[in-house]
Structure 1
Amino acid sequence: MKVKPFLAIALLSGAYIVPATLQAQDASKPVAIQFAKGASSKVIKGSIRGDQGRLYTINIKAGQTLKVKLVTSNSSSYFNITAPGAQEALFIGSTEGNSYSGVVPSSGNYTIDVYLMRNAARRNETANYTLTVSATGK
């Protein structure tokens, strides 16, 4: 498995805050988020278990406001957002919470990674969730 440099440092230092989905990527492909005609948001219901994770992508333009909110049944479930081509996450849910709102810096496919923290993943816990995603502006 190829480990990104910042992950290697975290792993070597004993800091185990890396999402389980980065530890064991499953074979699932990212799900593209498409809004219904005339809509600027979408509500997605899902479930993850153990080291599973769900990857979603949304194509938005620079200057648009991206909002993501996660409501989950498991307090160890979070999401991260990564900008197109970025090496590090734009938003890290485990340190910043389960709600994000911000103007995106560049155009392209942003990745939203819903995951369980390592402690819950090791216990093979489940998280049922509702993810609300919106993109507005320009």
Structure 2
Amino acid sequence: MKARLFLSILITGIACAAWAQRAAEVKFERGNYGTMVSGTITGDEYFDYTLGAQSGQEMFADLKVSDTNGNGVIYFNILPPGSDGEAIYIGSINGNTARIELPEDGDYTIRVYLMGNDRDAGKTVGYNLDLSIQ
């Protein structure tokens, strides 16, 4: 009985975590090398933006807070193709502006997330993310 209850709680926890995650594919309009995306993140949610690129291209990403009911502690990581969470750029260490040469062909993920009190207290942060690949 206890094992079933634990399994039920574990499955519910996993399902709730999956609901908090959102994703979108980024496509540039014909003739453009970049775009801006906007959104909001609340608490422990994160938003994954994916875009295809080739080895040797340069990715630029710049994240700015547009509004917040907390401290505006928002960051992004850049994950390479096939990553299970390991990042090649970590915004909480390197800052919210990145310009990096991409090491391989494939789909890259830009994961936007909260940290600190904003995450722990379930605050909401609005943002604008400027992205380009050249």
Q: Which category of TM-score, normalised to the shorter sequence, fits these structures?
A: 0.7 to 0.9
Structure-2 residue corresponding to 1:80 = 77
**Deviations, residues 4-39 of structure 1 (Å, cap 9, x unaligned):** xxxxxxxxxxxxxxxxxxxx4435452100000000
Structure 2: 5+ residue runs without aligned partners?
A: 1-16
Percent identical across equivalent pairs?
36
Alignment match of 2:54 (pick from 43, 55, 61): 61
TM-score by length of 2: 0.78
Superposed CA RMSD in Å reads: 1.5
Where do residues 1-138 of structure 1 align in structure 2 (5 Å cutoff)?
24-26=17-19, 28-72=21-65, 73=67, 74-87=71-84, 88-136=86-134
If you compute each CA radius of gyration, which structure gives the higher value, 1 or 2?
2
Return the structure number with greater helix share: 2
Alpha-carbon distance in structure 2 between the residues aligned to 1:78 and 1:98 = 6
Tell me by how many angstroms 1:76 deviates: 1.2
Count of paired positions: 113
| Gaps in structure 1 of 5+ consecutive residues | 1-23
Bigger strand share: 2
Letter in 2 for 1:101: R
Q: Contact 1:25–1:52 (CA<8 Å) still a contact in 2?
A: no
TM-score of the pair, normalised by structure 1: 0.76
